[in-house]
Amino acid sequence: MSLNTNIGGIELDNCICNGSGALCKDRDELINLNNSRTGAVITKTSTKDLRVGNPEPRYFDNEMLSINSMGLPNNGLQFYLESAKSITAKPYIVSISGFYIDEEPSLITYIQNKYPHVTGLELNMSCPNLVGKPQIAYDFEQFDNILTKIYEVNDCSIPIGLKLPPYFDMMHFDEATEIINKYPINFLTCINGLGNGMYVDLENESTIIKPKNGFGGIGGPCVKPIGLANTHQFYTKTKCDIFGCGGVSTGSDAFEYILCGASGVQVATQLVKEGTDCFSRINCELKQIMINKNYECLDDFKGKLNYIN
């Protein structure tokens, strides 16, 4: 029974990984991930310099959802590049803000030449919680222009992925696909949080988080149907490998994402709730489902979603 997978040329010994943003900001958190059963260590989305992020309270979760407006708190790209030397047990994927890449597109060549311990890059084109900043991948002209810059000035021999926002309209899937298919992108992460949701504190008759007057990115179980749909759309429309993300808390969730075409899944809200023990549990649950269905490996069912006639 094997859960190993390959995502954009990155070999993982199991398909369950952390999502950028969840318990991956400082050195202790990165080391904890390295020592856990995650298939890879994915860093917090990084910017050029350290960012404190948005004011607190900026995160809330319950059994239905999470809502956050963190504002990309991180220790700066150089910290995450240097930390690669400490991550020896797993592939190490550095997440970088799309806005930073837009300003410094030659960063990729710099990373390739100076930091061989970095296994791959995930370019975050979809953060919904930067005050005054749009989500890059919703502005298709800007999205295309940034990718053009990247591939004009880098040979991109390191695997590169894009973290995408949720799309809802079929025309938007088509527009995004047309852009993505122009470039040798190795993998996609589908999806980032649903931007600009709100949760109300009934007792206090108030918003539950402080930034943006209570608006934040929605994650957790309630977003899984949207994550599954985006995963399946991009699986069928592109040649990219896909990390499914959004509402993964059980082996059943992971199975559904892989059935919809994901080569691996990322866990975020559940990781915050449960800690790194969630990886071993989800691995065991997924293996049991595969045993029950007589599947030996992920390719036995990956992308083989049936449609009702």
Q: What is the residue extent of each domain of the chain?
A: 5-299
Report whether 261 contacts 236 (CB < 8 A): yes
Confidence at 40, pLDDT banded by 50, 70, 90: very high
Distance set, CA 277 to CA 91, 155, 267 (Å): 19, 38, 12
> Mean pLDDT, to the nearest integer, of 143-171?
97
pLDDT at 218 over 90: yes
Note the pLDDT of residue 133: 81
Q: Is the pLDDT of residue 233 over 80?
A: yes
CB hemisphere CA count around 151 (13 angstroms):
16
Confidence grade of residue 226 (pLDDT, cut at 50, 70, 90): very high
pLDDT tens digits, one per residue of 240-287: 999 999 999 999 999 999 999 999 999 999 999 999 999 999 999 999
Superfamily of domain covering 5-299? Aldolase class I (3.20.20.70)
Asked whether 122 and 163 are in contact (CB, 8 A), the reply is yes
The pLDDT score that the predictor gives to residue 129 is 76
pLDDT tier at 132, thresholds 50, 70, 90: confident
Mean pLDDT of 159-169: 98
Higher per-residue confidence, 132 vs 63 = 63
CA separation for the pair 138, 164 (Å, rounded): 9
* Site of tokens 């999806």: 191
3-state secondary structure labels for all residues of the chain = CCCCEEECCEEECCCEEECCCCCCCCHHHHHHHHCCCCCCEECCCECCCCECCCCCCCEEECCCCEEECCCCCECCHHHHHHHHHHCCCCCEEEEEEHHHHHHCCCHHHHHHHHCCCCCEEEEECCCCCCCCCCCHHHCHHHHHHHHHHHHHHCCCCCCEEEEECCCCCHHHHHHHHHHHCCCCCCEEEECCCEEEECCEECCCCEECCCHHHHCEEEECHHHHHHHHHHHHHHHHHCCCEEEEECCCCCHHHHHHHHHCCCCEEEECHHHHHHCCHHHHHHHHHHHHHHHHCCCCCHHHCCCCCCCCC
pLDDT reported for residue 254: 98
Beta bridge partners of 200: 207
User: Is 156 among the catalytic positions?
Assistant: no
Is the pLDDT confidence value at 165 over 80?
yes
Residue 31: the pLDDT is 97
Percent of the chain with pLDDT over 90: 96
Give per-residue pLDDT as tens, 71-115.
999 999 999 999 999 999 899 999 999 999 999 999 999 999 999
**Res. 130: pLDDT tops 90:** no
Cβ atoms 140, 95 nearer than 8 A: no
pLDDT at 128: 79
Cβ neighbours of 179 (radius 10 Å): 19
Q: How far apart are CA 66 and CA 217, in angstroms?
A: 8
User: Which is nearest to 39 in space by CA: 100, 89, 108, 99?
Assistant: 89
- Candidates 17, 24, 127, 190; catalytic one: 127
Cβ-in-10-Å burial (0-12, 13-18, 19+) of 265 comes to buried
